[in-house]
Amino acid sequence: MRPTEDRRGPRNQVRINEQIRARVVLVIDSDGSQLGEMPIADALKIARDKSLDLVEVSPLAQPPVCRILDYGRQQYEQSRKEREARKNQTKVVIKEVRVRPKTDPHDLDTKLRAITKWLQEGDRVQLTLRMRGREQAHPDWGRKVLVEMASKVGDVGRVERDVLAEGRQMTLVLAPSALATKKSKPSAPPPGQPSAGTGE
């Protein structure tokens, strides 16, 4: 048994030219003016005379509304706009840093430097602390480690999601502060003034 189709045909399919099934259509010209209702054959002839396409834009209207336009160009413009929109979207990147309740202080310093760098670059950071064995009986140890790490990068990041316990692990999410990216790009000195650190 075939699936039922509505009068528009396959979902999201736009009918153009001979694909249009209606016998009578309401036609909108390429300049936006209404040409009125007419048989589909007459509408197709007008579109062909202009070297354009007849595109069904409102298939459920009575009669269906069709527009005369350059369908290929319209598709190209729509695709270009979608590409531009995707290009302008900000990609949200979440970096993960894993620690233990008893991670060596030197290792923590290394991780904190990486966290600071990522926050300055505009990335979010998820701190993940995993507990084993007896450590699970002292969740306050893990929470203390995560809170302390967050406080040490407080000048470039803020807590976006507080400590969340999930089974044997805890997580905390940091997001860049408003000034984080600015600090990573020092501003140039005003014209005529020496830059910082230069000698006379």
Taking only the tens place, the pLDDT of each residue in 101-130 is 888 888 889 999 999 999 998 899 999 998
Domain count, the chain: 2
Classified as helix, coil or strand, 131 is coil
Q: Of 124, 140, 109, whose CA–CA distance to 173 is shortest? A: 124
What pLDDT was estimated at residue 182?
A: 52
Structure token digits, residue 175: 């997001």
Q: Is residue 27 over pLDDT 90?
A: yes
What pLDDT was estimated at residue 6?
A: 41
What pLDDT was estimated at residue 143?
A: 87
For residue 85, being part of any structural domain is answered with: no
Residue 123 contacts residue 95 (beta carbons within 8 Å): yes
What burial class does residue 30 get, using C-beta atoms within 10 Å of its C-beta: 0-12 exposed, 13-18 middle, 19+ buried? middle
DSSP state of 104: -
Boundaries of domain holding 27: 17-71
Task: Give the confidence band of 179 by pLDDT, cuts at 50, 70, 90.
Answer: low
Task: Give the confidence band of 91 by pLDDT, cuts at 50, 70, 90.
Answer: low
Give the whole-angstrom CA distance, residue 133 versus residue 68.
72
Q: Is residue 165 over pLDDT 80?
A: yes
> CA dist 174 to 1, 51, 160, 161, 181, Å?
54, 57, 5, 7, 14
Residues 120 and 166 in one domain: yes
| Beta-sheet strand order (sheet of 124-130) | 94-99, 124-130, 169-176, 157-166
Structure token digits, residue 131: 């507990």
* Percent of the chain residues past pLDDT 70, beyond the cut: 80
End-to-end C-alpha distance for the chain, whole angstroms: 88
What pLDDT was estimated at residue 113?
A: 93
What pLDDT was estimated at residue 178?
A: 74
What pLDDT was estimated at residue 186?
A: 47
Q: Of 124, 125, 123, whose CA–CA distance to 111 is shortest? A: 125
What pLDDT was estimated at residue 9?
A: 43
For residue 170, being part of any structural domain is answered with: yes
Residues 178 and 113 in one domain: yes
For residue 80, being part of any structural domain is answered with: no
Classified as helix, coil or strand, 101 is coil
Residues 104 and 177 in one domain: yes
Residues 105 and 172 in one domain: yes
Average pLDDT over residues 8-17: 68
Residues 120 and 169 in one domain: yes
What pLDDT was estimated at residue 48?
A: 95
pTM of the shown model: 0.46
Q: Is residue 198 over pLDDT 60?
A: no
Kind plus residue range of the DSSP H or E element containing 184: helix 180-184
What pLDDT was estimated at residue 96?
A: 92
Neighbour count for residue 55 (Cβ, 10 Å): 21
Placement of tokens 């197709």 in the chain: 44
For the CA atoms of the chain, what is the radius of gyration?
31
Q: Is residue 34 over pLDDT 80?
A: yes
What pLDDT was estimated at residue 90?
A: 61
